[in-house]
Amino acid sequence: MANLQTIQKIGPILDLFTAECPEWGVREVAASVGIPRSSAHSVMASLVDTGLLQCRTRGRYRIGWRVVELSEALRGTVDVRSCATPFLDRLVEGYGETTHLAVMERGRVLYVDKLLGTHNISVQGAKVGSRLEAHSTAVGKVLLAQLEEGELDRMIGAGPLRRLSPTTITDPVSLRAILRQVGGVGYAVDLGETIAEVYCVAAPVRDELGSVVAALSVSVPSTRFRSRRAELTRAVVDTARAVSRSLVDADPRPTGVVTVARSAS
Protein backbone atom coordinates (compact mmCIF):
# COMPACT_ATOMS: atom_id res chain seq x y z
CA MET A 1 0.00 0.00 0.00
CA ALA A 2 2.87 2.35 0.80
CA ASN A 3 4.22 1.96 -2.71
CA LEU A 4 0.81 2.73 -4.22
CA GLN A 5 0.49 5.84 -2.06
CA THR A 6 3.91 6.99 -3.23
CA ILE A 7 2.99 6.49 -6.89
CA GLN A 8 -0.19 8.50 -6.40
CA LYS A 9 1.86 11.46 -5.15
CA ILE A 10 4.23 11.51 -8.14
CA GLY A 11 1.77 13.00 -10.63
CA PRO A 12 0.68 15.99 -8.51
CA ILE A 13 4.31 16.75 -7.66
CA LEU A 14 5.48 16.66 -11.28
CA ASP A 15 2.49 18.81 -12.28
CA LEU A 16 3.95 21.65 -10.21
CA PHE A 17 6.96 22.00 -12.52
CA THR A 18 5.94 24.32 -15.34
CA ALA A 19 7.59 26.90 -17.58
CA GLU A 20 6.24 29.60 -15.26
CA CYS A 21 7.40 27.82 -12.05
CA PRO A 22 10.34 25.60 -13.06
CA GLU A 23 12.00 25.34 -9.62
CA TRP A 24 10.59 24.13 -6.30
CA GLY A 25 11.80 23.37 -2.80
CA VAL A 26 10.59 20.50 -0.62
CA ARG A 27 8.69 22.78 1.77
CA GLU A 28 6.87 24.48 -1.14
CA VAL A 29 5.97 21.16 -2.74
CA ALA A 30 4.65 19.75 0.53
CA ALA A 31 2.45 22.81 1.08
CA SER A 32 1.14 22.86 -2.51
CA VAL A 33 0.33 19.15 -2.71
CA GLY A 34 -0.88 18.91 0.88
CA ILE A 35 1.44 16.19 2.18
CA PRO A 36 3.97 16.05 5.02
CA ARG A 37 7.38 17.50 4.28
CA SER A 38 9.02 14.14 4.93
CA SER A 39 6.76 12.49 2.33
CA ALA A 40 7.51 15.18 -0.22
CA HIS A 41 11.24 14.78 0.36
CA SER A 42 11.02 10.99 0.00
CA VAL A 43 9.10 11.14 -3.29
CA MET A 44 11.33 13.87 -4.72
CA ALA A 45 14.46 11.93 -3.77
CA SER A 46 13.07 8.91 -5.64
CA LEU A 47 12.38 11.10 -8.67
CA VAL A 48 15.97 12.33 -8.54
CA ASP A 49 17.17 8.72 -8.48
CA THR A 50 15.19 7.98 -11.65
CA GLY A 51 16.37 11.17 -13.35
CA LEU A 52 12.93 12.76 -13.56
CA LEU A 53 14.06 15.53 -11.19
CA GLN A 54 17.45 17.08 -10.52
CA CYS A 55 18.49 18.58 -7.20
CA ARG A 56 20.24 21.90 -7.57
CA THR A 57 21.96 24.10 -4.99
CA ARG A 58 20.19 25.03 -1.75
CA GLY A 59 17.77 22.13 -2.00
CA ARG A 60 15.96 23.42 -5.09
CA TYR A 61 14.59 20.96 -7.64
CA ARG A 62 14.03 21.14 -11.39
CA ILE A 63 12.87 18.70 -14.08
CA GLY A 64 15.62 16.17 -14.84
CA TRP A 65 17.21 15.20 -18.14
CA ARG A 66 15.53 11.80 -18.09
CA VAL A 67 12.45 13.63 -19.41
CA VAL A 68 14.38 14.41 -22.61
CA GLU A 69 15.16 10.72 -23.10
CA LEU A 70 11.52 9.82 -22.63
CA SER A 71 10.52 12.52 -25.10
CA GLU A 72 12.90 11.08 -27.70
CA ALA A 73 11.50 7.61 -27.06
CA LEU A 74 8.02 8.95 -27.74
CA ARG A 75 9.21 10.57 -30.97
CA GLY A 76 10.44 7.17 -32.09
CA THR A 77 6.95 5.69 -31.91
CA VAL A 78 3.93 6.38 -34.06
CA ASP A 79 1.96 8.96 -32.13
CA VAL A 80 -1.04 11.12 -32.86
CA ARG A 81 0.94 14.36 -32.70
CA SER A 82 3.37 13.42 -35.47
CA CYS A 83 0.48 12.19 -37.63
CA ALA A 84 -1.60 15.31 -37.02
CA THR A 85 1.02 18.01 -37.59
CA PRO A 86 0.88 18.22 -41.41
CA PHE A 87 -2.93 18.32 -41.33
CA LEU A 88 -2.93 21.07 -38.71
CA ASP A 89 -0.57 23.01 -40.98
CA ARG A 90 -3.02 22.72 -43.85
CA LEU A 91 -5.92 23.75 -41.65
CA VAL A 92 -4.10 26.93 -40.66
CA GLU A 93 -3.07 27.62 -44.26
CA GLY A 94 -6.63 27.18 -45.48
CA TYR A 95 -8.48 29.12 -42.81
CA GLY A 96 -5.93 31.18 -40.92
CA GLU A 97 -7.25 30.19 -37.50
CA THR A 98 -5.35 28.89 -34.48
CA THR A 99 -5.50 25.10 -34.20
CA HIS A 100 -5.02 22.80 -31.22
CA LEU A 101 -4.47 19.08 -30.68
CA ALA A 102 -5.38 17.72 -27.25
CA VAL A 103 -5.68 14.47 -25.31
CA MET A 104 -7.25 13.54 -21.98
CA GLU A 105 -4.69 13.30 -19.19
CA ARG A 106 -5.76 12.43 -15.65
CA GLY A 107 -9.15 14.06 -15.96
CA ARG A 108 -8.07 17.25 -17.69
CA VAL A 109 -7.40 18.33 -21.25
CA LEU A 110 -3.69 18.28 -22.09
CA TYR A 111 -2.70 20.34 -25.14
CA VAL A 112 0.01 18.52 -27.09
CA ASP A 113 0.28 20.76 -30.18
CA LYS A 114 -0.75 24.21 -31.34
CA LEU A 115 -0.32 26.29 -34.50
CA LEU A 116 -1.06 30.01 -34.38
CA GLY A 117 -3.48 31.57 -36.83
CA THR A 118 -2.36 33.95 -39.54
CA HIS A 119 -5.08 36.62 -39.29
CA ASN A 120 -4.12 40.02 -37.93
CA ILE A 121 -6.44 39.30 -35.03
CA SER A 122 -6.00 35.68 -33.98
CA VAL A 123 -6.62 33.70 -30.82
CA GLN A 124 -3.42 32.97 -28.90
CA GLY A 125 -4.88 29.76 -27.55
CA ALA A 126 -3.64 27.37 -24.88
CA LYS A 127 0.06 26.72 -24.50
CA VAL A 128 1.42 23.31 -25.46
CA GLY A 129 1.71 21.32 -22.25
CA SER A 130 -1.00 23.23 -20.44
CA ARG A 131 -4.02 21.53 -18.88
CA LEU A 132 -7.54 22.98 -18.88
CA GLU A 133 -10.96 22.00 -17.65
CA ALA A 134 -12.62 19.48 -19.95
CA HIS A 135 -16.24 20.58 -19.47
CA SER A 136 -15.70 24.11 -20.80
CA THR A 137 -13.62 23.37 -23.90
CA ALA A 138 -14.62 21.99 -27.29
CA VAL A 139 -11.80 19.45 -27.29
CA GLY A 140 -12.72 18.47 -23.74
CA LYS A 141 -16.34 17.80 -24.68
CA VAL A 142 -15.21 15.60 -27.57
CA LEU A 143 -13.00 13.60 -25.21
CA LEU A 144 -15.64 13.39 -22.48
CA ALA A 145 -18.31 12.24 -24.94
CA GLN A 146 -16.49 8.96 -25.60
CA LEU A 147 -16.18 7.93 -21.93
CA GLU A 148 -18.10 5.09 -20.33
CA GLU A 149 -20.80 6.15 -17.86
CA GLY A 150 -18.83 5.12 -14.78
CA GLU A 151 -15.75 7.03 -15.87
CA LEU A 152 -17.82 10.07 -16.81
CA ASP A 153 -19.43 10.00 -13.36
CA ARG A 154 -15.99 10.08 -11.79
CA MET A 155 -14.87 12.93 -14.05
CA ILE A 156 -17.75 15.39 -13.69
CA GLY A 157 -19.46 14.23 -10.50
CA ALA A 158 -22.86 15.47 -9.35
CA GLY A 159 -22.02 18.93 -8.04
CA PRO A 160 -21.69 22.20 -9.94
CA LEU A 161 -18.73 22.38 -12.31
CA ARG A 162 -16.24 25.23 -12.19
CA ARG A 163 -17.42 28.41 -13.91
CA LEU A 164 -14.79 30.04 -16.14
CA SER A 165 -16.97 32.51 -18.02
CA PRO A 166 -20.62 33.67 -17.99
CA THR A 167 -21.53 30.94 -20.52
CA THR A 168 -19.71 27.99 -18.90
CA ILE A 169 -21.96 24.95 -18.48
CA THR A 170 -21.79 24.17 -14.77
CA ASP A 171 -24.73 21.76 -14.42
CA PRO A 172 -23.61 18.12 -14.89
CA VAL A 173 -27.08 17.13 -16.17
CA SER A 174 -26.98 19.79 -18.89
CA LEU A 175 -23.43 18.80 -19.77
CA ARG A 176 -24.42 15.15 -20.15
CA ALA A 177 -27.17 16.14 -22.58
CA ILE A 178 -24.67 18.10 -24.64
CA LEU A 179 -22.19 15.21 -24.62
CA ARG A 180 -24.88 12.92 -26.03
CA GLN A 181 -25.37 15.42 -28.86
CA VAL A 182 -21.62 15.53 -29.44
CA GLY A 183 -21.54 11.77 -29.79
CA GLY A 184 -24.31 11.97 -32.36
CA VAL A 185 -23.11 14.81 -34.58
CA GLY A 186 -19.37 14.08 -34.31
CA TYR A 187 -18.14 17.47 -33.15
CA ALA A 188 -18.36 19.89 -30.19
CA VAL A 189 -18.33 23.64 -29.74
CA ASP A 190 -17.16 26.03 -27.04
CA LEU A 191 -19.14 29.28 -27.34
CA GLY A 192 -17.07 31.49 -25.10
CA GLU A 193 -17.29 28.99 -22.24
CA THR A 194 -13.62 29.12 -21.30
CA ILE A 195 -12.74 32.63 -22.47
CA ALA A 196 -15.48 35.05 -23.39
CA GLU A 197 -15.40 36.08 -27.06
CA VAL A 198 -13.30 33.04 -28.04
CA TYR A 199 -15.28 30.31 -29.82
CA CYS A 200 -14.02 26.86 -30.79
CA VAL A 201 -15.13 23.80 -32.71
CA ALA A 202 -13.49 20.40 -32.22
CA ALA A 203 -13.74 16.88 -33.66
CA PRO A 204 -12.41 13.47 -32.57
CA VAL A 205 -9.31 11.65 -33.82
CA ARG A 206 -9.73 7.88 -33.74
CA ASP A 207 -7.30 4.97 -33.76
CA GLU A 208 -7.51 1.69 -35.69
CA LEU A 209 -10.15 0.37 -33.26
CA GLY A 210 -12.34 3.42 -33.63
CA SER A 211 -11.51 4.68 -30.13
CA VAL A 212 -11.16 8.43 -29.64
CA VAL A 213 -7.52 9.10 -28.77
CA ALA A 214 -7.36 12.88 -29.29
CA ALA A 215 -9.35 15.89 -30.41
CA LEU A 216 -8.39 18.75 -32.71
CA SER A 217 -9.96 22.18 -32.86
CA VAL A 218 -9.85 25.68 -34.24
CA SER A 219 -10.13 28.69 -31.91
CA VAL A 220 -11.69 31.80 -33.43
CA PRO A 221 -12.76 35.28 -32.29
CA SER A 222 -16.52 35.10 -31.73
CA THR A 223 -17.41 37.66 -34.40
CA ARG A 224 -15.53 35.75 -37.11
CA PHE A 225 -16.82 32.38 -35.91
CA ARG A 226 -20.47 33.34 -36.24
CA SER A 227 -20.15 34.09 -39.95
CA ARG A 228 -18.03 30.98 -40.72
CA ARG A 229 -19.36 28.41 -38.27
CA ALA A 230 -20.61 25.86 -40.83
CA GLU A 231 -17.48 26.18 -42.97
CA LEU A 232 -15.11 25.82 -40.03
CA THR A 233 -17.05 22.88 -38.61
CA ARG A 234 -16.79 20.97 -41.91
CA ALA A 235 -13.07 21.75 -42.13
CA VAL A 236 -12.38 20.54 -38.58
CA VAL A 237 -14.41 17.34 -38.98
CA ASP A 238 -12.75 16.56 -42.33
CA THR A 239 -9.29 17.25 -40.90
CA ALA A 240 -9.93 15.01 -37.89
CA ARG A 241 -11.00 12.20 -40.20
CA ALA A 242 -7.85 12.67 -42.29
CA VAL A 243 -5.68 12.51 -39.17
CA SER A 244 -7.51 9.36 -38.08
CA ARG A 245 -6.78 7.70 -41.43
CA SER A 246 -3.13 8.74 -41.21
CA LEU A 247 -2.89 7.36 -37.68
CA VAL A 248 -4.34 4.02 -38.78
CA ASP A 249 -2.04 3.81 -41.82
CA ALA A 250 1.03 4.61 -39.72
CA ASP A 251 0.25 2.12 -36.96
CA PRO A 252 2.73 -0.79 -37.12
CA ARG A 253 0.75 -4.03 -36.84
CA PRO A 254 2.39 -7.42 -36.22
CA THR A 255 2.51 -9.68 -39.27
CA GLY A 256 -0.54 -11.90 -39.55
CA VAL A 257 -2.73 -9.69 -37.36
CA VAL A 258 -5.62 -8.08 -39.19
CA THR A 259 -7.26 -5.02 -37.64
CA VAL A 260 -10.45 -3.60 -39.02
CA ALA A 261 -10.72 0.17 -38.61
CA ARG A 262 -14.15 1.57 -37.98
CA SER A 263 -15.37 4.54 -39.94
CA ALA A 264 -14.45 7.79 -38.21
CA SER A 265 -17.66 9.69 -37.88
Q: Which of these three, 19, 38, 69, is where a domain ends?
A: 69
- The predicted pLDDT at position 238 comes to 97
Claim to verify: residue 63 and residue 175 sit in the same structural domain? no
pLDDT single digits (tens) 20-36: 889 999 999 999 999 99
Residue 13 makes CB contacts below 8 A (sequence gap 6+) with 29, 33, 40, 43, 44, 47
Residue 255 maps to a domain: no
Domain span holding position 15: 2-69
Provide the pLDDT for residue 209. 85
Both 172 and 222 in one domain: the answer is: yes
92 assigned to some structural domain? yes
pLDDT of residue 168: 95
171-218: pLDDT as tens digits: 999 999 999 999 999 999 999 999 999 999 999 999 888 889 999 999
Q: What is the dihedral of CA 106, 249, 71, 140, to 10 degrees?
A: -30
Same domain, 57 and 119: no
pLDDT bin (cut points 50, 70, 90) of residue 258 is: very low
pLDDT for the residue numbered 164: 94
Per-residue pLDDT at 198: 94
DSSP string, 88-110: HHHHHHHH--EEEEEEEETTEEE
Report whether 135 contacts 169 (CB < 8 A).
Answer: yes
Q: Residue 260 falls within a domain, yes or no?
A: no
Q: What is the dihedral of CA 27, 31, 33, 37, to 10 degrees?
A: 40
Average model confidence (pLDDT) across the chain: 86
Longest dimension (CA), the chain: 57
Report the domain count for the chain. 2
- Tell me, what's the pLDDT at 256? 39
98 assigned to some structural domain: yes
- Where residue 42 sits, what CATH number does that domain have? 1.10.10.10
In this structure, the answer to whether residues 111 and 55 fall within a common structural domain is no
Q: Distance of CA 178 to CAs 17, 33, 140, 147, Å?
A: 34, 33, 12, 14
Q: Are 153 and 134 in contact (CB under 8 A)?
A: no
Regarding whether 219 and 109 lie in a shared domain, the answer is: yes
> Which residues is 189 bridged to in the sheet?
201
Does the pLDDT at position 77 exceed 70?
no
Contacts 24+ apart (CB under 8 A), 3-12: 6/42, 6/43, 6/46, 9/33, 9/35, 9/39, 9/40, 9/43, 10/43, 10/47, 11/106
Mean pLDDT of 222-229: 93
Report which of 108, 49, 103, 69 is spatially closest to residue 216, judged by C-alpha positions.
Answer: 103
Q: Which pLDDT score is estimated for 79?
A: 80
Q: Is 246 a domain residue?
A: yes
Q: Are 155 and 233 contained in the same domain?
A: yes
Considering the domain architecture, whether residues 193 and 115 belong to the same structural domain is answered as yes
Among residues of the chain, what percentage have pLDDT more than 90? 58
86 vs 67, residue with greater confidence: 86
Report whether 205 contacts 212 (CB < 8 A).
Answer: yes
- pLDDT tens readout for residues 149-177: 888 888 888 779 999 999 999 999 999 99
What is the CATH number for 104? Answer: 3.30.450.40
Q: Please name every residue paired with 190 in a beta bridge, in sequence order, or none if there are none.
A: 200
Q: Give the residue from 45, 69, 93 where a domain finishes.
A: 69
Alpha helices, H only, the chain: 2-15, 26-33, 37-50, 66-75, 80-95, 138-145, 149-156, 172-185, 222-250
Please, what is the Cα angle at 189 between 183 and 192, to 5 degrees? 150
Q: What is the DSSP string of 210-227?
A: S-EEEEEEEEEEHHHHHH
Residue 205: predicted pLDDT: 95
Beta strands at 108-115 and 98-105: parallel, antiparallel or unpaired = antiparallel
Local confidence band at 78 (pLDDT 50, 70, 90 cut-offs): low
Task: Judge whether 201 lies within some domain.
Answer: yes
